[in-house]
Structure 1
């Protein structure tokens, strides 16, 4: 009886400990949710802009910054040059770049109340000595959420500017590789690697058309991606699968800036898993029919 009482006491203590831990986790989760209400509430538009400017000239435009949180936000505007790290186009930003001196804001420090927005003018001045080609900067809005006089959260959103300094520029696109399946079960992934050896960016438009062997179009999709100079970009997707098993073809078309578009037709066999089961049933059925015929002959 004594051992049983001790066991019950230990069980009660462990239960209370677990309940306490659960309460702490629950409180932390609620607190995190309360903080998250103020995170991600600042927005900026447009998210990107493509601009062409002559050397020695200026360009003026505006961006809109909105406070979607429930607190006052102090916003600081800044400029950073950007590029990409890899073929997946993960961005990298550089502070204190000389290119940032090209951009000036009408107001670099503002304060927004909950739900308030403001349009901020900016001006890009291109030096007369600037060489033709692509330049890439991001206009950042950095926010401090102010509650009871204290800064509680810091956030940053950006608007990307794709600037072409006009002149003798090139958009030299090349398709380095195309990956497309010849046997499709349920995976319809495809990908291309596009290189730009030119001096400024271009927008590569691509399309994927799935057709039967009689050239009847079954599915079609298209999109476009920006390709920065001196980079290689991986573009990947999935094509829509046909309804029935069989032999089909995919027609790929990819624009490459100033170069002729790339076009290629690749055939593939579509054998979904359910067709395997159907084929198995047909084989079993034929075997049974043959056996019945043999039995009747006997």
Structure 2
């Protein structure tokens, strides 16, 4: 029979348990056949920072070398956060933004810096404009079933200086966090489909860089299955 000791009138239970010994080291998980990470997952470019150089970091965390291509696309987001690619999207910045290199090869574990350049025309309407930068890889060789072009998209928001910006400074800036799910868009040429991830996005009239810390979007999987994730910062209200 086990007797519980008494301390200052209180009963202190004694618990006995067998705990397995865990080694101080652990075997790291095996990398996926395919893992493409883009950081940051979105960019917000204030009016006074348009001329500053900006870059995306594209990382191959998989076990095989991959070929990556870059392009831009116009899009709109409705009040529910649903994204639609439209070539006639209003307030698009697709004609102002260039990315490079357009094509490159990444060895397993390697990373590449992709430059983003913005040239706002003098006739641009003041306020916020947007464009998506898409990083794509071809379908995996020997994949069974439906072939998919694997892509990660990062939205870029550009604020053009002018009356709209000055009005935003006079009042309180508002931020809207939009979580966009994984979208399957297709079919496209050759029966392929575009698998596109646009993760956590912040839309704001005027945003200081410190208010929106960088995040990363990752697309991973093997030849037949894909999974996506986005590391998003916690939103702090003002």
Cα distance between partner residues in 1 of 2:159 and 2:130: 9
Cα distance between partner residues in 2 of 1:167 and 1:123: 21
SS of 2:123's equivalent in the other structure is coil
SS of 1:163's equivalent in the other structure is strand
Cα distance between partner residues in 2 of 1:42 and 1:90: 24
Shift in Å, 1:94? 2.7
1:236 corresponds in structure 2 to none
Residues 89-143 of structure 1: CA deviation (Å, up to 9, x unaligned): 1112234876312111231001111221101112010001111011011111011
SS of 2:95's equivalent in the other structure is helix
Matched, 1:128 2:128: no
Q: Larger strand proportion, structure 1 or 2?
A: 1
Confirm or deny: 8 A CA contact 2:176 2:204 kept in the other structure: no
Residues 133-172 of structure 1: CA deviation (Å, up to 9, x unaligned): 1101111101125548xxx752110121111101111459
Cα distance between partner residues in 2 of 1:110 and 1:96: 29
1:64 corresponds in structure 2 to 57
Cα distance between partner residues in 2 of 1:83 and 1:171: 21
2:150 corresponds in structure 1 to 155
Matched, 1:75 2:68: yes
1:164 corresponds in structure 2 to 159
Shift in Å, 1:59? 4.1
1:31 corresponds in structure 2 to none
Cα distance between partner residues in 1 of 2:87 and 2:65: 27
Q: How does the TM-score come out when normalised to structure 1?
A: 0.41
Name the CA shift for 1:103/1:75 in 2 (closer, same or farther; >3 Å): same
Q: How does the TM-score come out when normalised to structure 2?
A: 0.51
Cα distance between partner residues in 2 of 1:160 and 1:204: 14
Based on CA coordinates, which of the two structures has the bigger radius of gyration?
Answer: 1
Matched, 1:88 2:80: yes
2:101 corresponds in structure 1 to 107
Residues 74-103 of structure 1: CA deviation (Å, up to 9, x unaligned): 111011122213x32111223487631211
- Tell me which of 72, 95, 113 is aligned to 1:119: 113
Confirm or deny: 8 A CA contact 1:136 1:162 kept in the other structure: yes
Shift in Å, 1:72? 1.8
More relative contact order in 1 or in 2 (CA 8 Å, sep 6+)? 2
Cα distance between partner residues in 1 of 2:109 and 2:152: 17
Residues 38-75 of structure 1: CA deviation (Å, up to 9, x unaligned): 45x11100011211236xx7442110111122222111
Confirm or deny: 8 A CA contact 1:81 1:137 kept in the other structure: yes
Residues 3-51 of structure 1: CA deviation (Å, up to 9, x unaligned): xxxxxxxxxxxxxxxxxxxxxxxxxxxxxxxxxx445x11100011211
Shift in Å, 1:228? 6.6
Q: Which runs of 5+ in 1 are unaligned?
A: 1-36, 173-197, 206-224, 230-253, 256-298
Q: Which runs of 5+ in 2 are unaligned?
A: 1-31, 178-200, 206-236
Confirm or deny: 8 A CA contact 1:202 1:226 kept in the other structure: no
Name the CA shift for 1:228/1:51 in 2 (closer, same or farther; >3 Å): closer
2:220 corresponds in structure 1 to none
1:45 corresponds in structure 2 to 39
Cα distance between partner residues in 2 of 1:157 and 1:130: 28
Confirm or deny: 8 A CA contact 1:71 1:145 kept in the other structure: no
1:142 corresponds in structure 2 to 136
